[in-house]
Amino acid sequence: MAFTAGEVTNIANAALDFYFNKGDQFAQTLQSRPLWDKIERRKKTFPGGKGNISVAVHGQYGDGSGNDVVKGYTHNDTVTFFTPANIKRANFPWREHHIGLTMTHTELKIDGISVVDTNGENTSNHSQRELTVLVGLLEDKLFELGEQYARSMNLLAYGDGVADAKALAGLALLIADDPSVGTVGGIDRASAAYWRNRARTAAFGAKVTGTPALAAHGGGAIVSNVADGGALLQALQYEYRQLIRYGGKPDTFVCGSAFLDAMEKELRANGQYSDTGYSGGKDVSVGNLSFMGQQITYDPTLDDLGKSKRAYWFDSRRVFLMGMDNEWRKDHSPSRPANQFVLYRSITSTGQMITTQPNSGLVMDIS
């Protein structure tokens, strides 16, 4: 017998649930998205409420009066006191995101699916189509919906929020090419030095040249060179110490193909020692790289963005995604318009990417 409109709705909803909630997310992915996969898997939640995710920030200590340091005294000397007042609030507005698909009754008929509309009239049966309804049209459309959702959110995670002011802002804002300027969470980086990330980019190198004091937060892009132990490897060693200086524990390292090529070249040129030597199968490839125990992951998205020479290294406890309770990847089934024979399905996600400690994150380019 033909499907009722309610049955088709149930089938579509069940199929969406399968594609979006199974353990292996987006198994049909055409290109890996390691950054998005990790931050979405580890997202934190917040309750609904006013339009900001707010975190307390304490980056300065003392009041600069001279009374905020330890001084010696004796007998009945007069001592002084200071009043701490350095807590700030970083406020990140949460954003709403939507992607949806539409399907006409005509398409369903072509795919062998009849729909009994809400007026209750019967339609003719299609031979045994109920047995294979998830194969074909629905599968193809859900494939595209899942792929486009992942691609879109992945690009937002790398962006700065400028292209779509109503969507979340990602690494380009939180771990900026030039951390000496801009406002993040309502805190001005020009005046709050503690709110700056680490950067080794051409843009920041130019700033450091004009203002040498900014070198405390990084410098120019690295010129990869195999000499003296490898220029890039040495720079990463130095930057690691800076990332952990204030308690950061960098655990996410994504890079483009050219950046990874440079690391592999420096590694080969300087040798890799083990107790197995070069015996065995003579496999001369460089295996998966890691640095200070952190796996280095190639992310094709950086190549797509024209940033194959770039890497991001950060502490995912300090730079992360927050999703509103019960409002992340939420399925919707809007009613069809009275004058159109169509089905609609939507996915919405409400949240924002935030940082609670920018100086635990690094953006690095090679030239």
Per DSSP, the residues of 266-321 read: HHHHH----TTTT-SS---S----EETTEEEEE-HHHHHTT-TTEEEEE-TTTEEE
* pLDDT tier, 282 (very low <50, low <70, confident <90, very high otherwise): low
The position carrying tokens 């109920």 is 130
Is residue 301 one of the residues assigned to a domain? yes
What's the average model confidence in pLDDT over 15-34? 60
Is residue 111 one of the residues assigned to a domain? yes
pLDDT value for 331: 85
**Residue 281 pLDDT more than 60?**
no
Q: Is residue 5 within a helix (H) or strand (E), and if so which, with residue range? A: helix 5-21
* pLDDT tier, 2 (very low <50, low <70, confident <90, very high otherwise): low
Is residue 62 one of the residues assigned to a domain? no
Is residue 162 one of the residues assigned to a domain? yes
Q: Are 254 and 291 in contact (CB under 8 A)?
A: no
* pLDDT tier, 297 (very low <50, low <70, confident <90, very high otherwise): very high
**Residue 48 pLDDT more than 70?**
yes
pLDDT value for 288: 82
Task: Quick: pLDDT tens for 208-236.
Answer: 999 999 999 999 999 999 998 899 999 99
Distance, in Å, from the CA atom of 159 to the CA atom of 177, rounded to the nearest integer, reads 12
Is residue 188 one of the residues assigned to a domain? yes
**Residue 272 pLDDT more than 90?**
no
**Residue 145 pLDDT more than 90?**
no
When the pLDDT of each residue in the chain is averaged and rounded to a whole number, the result is 85
**Residue 117 pLDDT more than 80?**
no
Q: Which residue has the higher pLDDT, 275 or 46?
A: 46
**Residue 15 pLDDT more than 80?**
no
Is residue 322 one of the residues assigned to a domain? yes
**Residue 286 pLDDT more than 80?**
no
Task: Quick: pLDDT tens for 332-348.
Answer: 888 878 888 887 888 99
Whole domain around residue 307: which residue ranges?
A: 3-45+93-365
Task: Quick: pLDDT tens for 178-214.
Answer: 999 999 999 999 999 999 999 999 999 999 999 999 9
Is residue 211 one of the residues assigned to a domain? yes
Domain count, the chain: 1
Distance, in Å, from the CA atom of 280 to the CA atom of 214, rounded to the nearest integer, reads 50
Is residue 19 one of the residues assigned to a domain? yes
* pLDDT tier, 132 (very low <50, low <70, confident <90, very high otherwise): very low
pLDDT value for 343: 79
- What is the CB-side half-sphere exposure of residue 83 using CA atoms within 13 A? 1
Alpha helices in 113-192 (DSSP H): 137-158, 171-174
> pTM here?
0.83
Tokens of residue 112, six digits: 């062998």
pLDDT value for 131: 45
Q: Which residue has the higher pLDDT, 125 or 166?
A: 166
Closest CA to 252 of 315, 172, 322, 319: 315
What's the average model confidence in pLDDT over 313-322? 97
Residue 331: how many other CB atoms lie within 10 Å: 14
